[in-house]
Amino acid sequence: MSKLRLPAWLGKDGTAALIFLAPSAAGFILFYLIPFGMGIVYSFTDSTIGGVFVGFDNYSALLESKSFHKAAANTLLFTGVSVPLLIFLSLTLAILLNRRLYLRNWLQTSFVLPLVVPVASIVMIWQIFFDWNGTLNAWLNGLGLGRVDWMQSDGSMAVLAFLYIWKNIGYDMILFMAGLQAIPASYYETARIEGAGKLRQFYYITLVYLTPTMIFVVLISIINSFKVFREAYFLAGDYPYDRIYTLQHYMNNMFLSLDIQKLTAAASLMVVGILALVFALLGAERRFQSHME
């Protein structure tokens, strides 16, 4: 019986890497890649079992759905507002904590702690604070102001954005700090000798050399913004207030009603949108790198 021979260019290290990566690669293909491919196929049929090819009919029905329009608009609004706020705040904190400050290590730890807190615990804390009989309404009542049902009002989007920023600001801050520490201190010393002020140093040195890190952080933040569905689901259920009804709610409800065609069509459109954004940001990074060279 002939033995399986791997290409000679792999070498011993490459062969060992393939052996260790094989189980993870097999699991990824079996549980992620194949189901996603099947979902794309289902989005062009009228049924998951013995379905007939219907072209783009499912996508047309999806784009005519008012619920999908509401979910897509809310998702774009949430990502478009919360991600820039997260980037600004995490970068500001990274710049402040990149200096020698009192209790610097304690502050870094406090911002990172939300990453290790379970989702159920986070939701419980938020319910205690924003519930009708919660802490915030108790404060408002003490000040003579009326109570607010935060999760059933237009303020629900702000609550969800605050939760998203609170949970992810520590991770983005660490990434920015790593990027800041990679900038040679000699660049700032040269700029100071030439008479450049703090603002010019920040604009022409910090932002320029932090661009690759910035693009990576933006990508991670956008991906994490789609994961906030878990908190929104536990806080407000399957059919929350209109302002926080997102694409993930829409797809979850389509799954519960077994409308697999609309579910897979919506998932495919969302993936295409995310991939387009990723390629645009990576293209911007490549252009920046070529410009710097």
Tell which wins on pLDDT, 152 or 68.
68
| Average confidence score pLDDT of the chain | 82
Q: Which residues pair with 67 in a beta bridge?
A: none
Q: Is pLDDT at 156 greater than 80 in this prediction?
A: yes
pLDDT tens digit sequence for 171-193:
898 889 888 888 888 888 888 88
Q: Is pLDDT at 289 greater than 50 in this prediction?
A: yes
SS (H, E, C) the chain: CCCCCCCHHHHHHHHHHHHHHHHHHHHHHHHHHHHHHHHHHHCCECCCCCCCECCCHHHHHHHCCHHHHHHHHHHHHHHHHHHHHHHHHHHHHHHHHCCCCCCHHHHHHHHHHHHHCCHHHHHHHHHHHHCCCCHHHHHHHHCCCCCCCHHHCCCHHHHHHHHHHHHHHHHHHHHHHHHHHCCCHHHHHHHHHCCCCHHHHHHHHHHHHCHHHHHHHHHHHHHHHHCCHHHHHHHHCCCCCHHHCCHHHHHHHHHHCCCHHHHHHHHHHHHHHHHHHHHHHHHHHHHHHHHHC
Architecture of the structural domain at 64-292: Orthogonal Bundle (1.10)
Q: How far apart are CA 269 and CA 246, in angstroms?
A: 14
Q: How far apart are CA 121 and CA 135, in angstroms?
A: 16
The residue ranges of every structural domain in the chain are: 64-292
| Mean pLDDT value across residues 69-94 | 90
- Burial (CB count within 10 angstroms: exposed 0-12, middle 13-18, buried 19+), residue 269: middle
Task: Write down the pLDDT at residue 3.
Answer: 54
Is 63 within 8 Å of 234 (Cβ atoms)? no
pLDDT tens digit sequence for 103-129:
667 777 777 777 777 777 777 887 788
| Mean pLDDT value across residues 43-70 | 84
Q: How far apart are CA 53 and CA 40, in angstroms?
A: 12
Task: Write down the pLDDT at residue 144.
Answer: 77
| Mean pLDDT value across residues 270-287 | 83
Task: Write down the pLDDT at residue 84.
Answer: 92
Name residue, tokens 């500001």.
92
Under the banding of pLDDT at 50, 70 and 90, the label for residue 83 is very high
Q: Is pLDDT at 254 greater than 70 in this prediction?
A: yes
Token couple for 95: 């710049």
Under the banding of pLDDT at 50, 70 and 90, the label for residue 101 is low
Under the banding of pLDDT at 50, 70 and 90, the label for residue 1 is very low
Under the banding of pLDDT at 50, 70 and 90, the label for residue 86 is very high
Task: Write down the pLDDT at residue 249.
Answer: 86
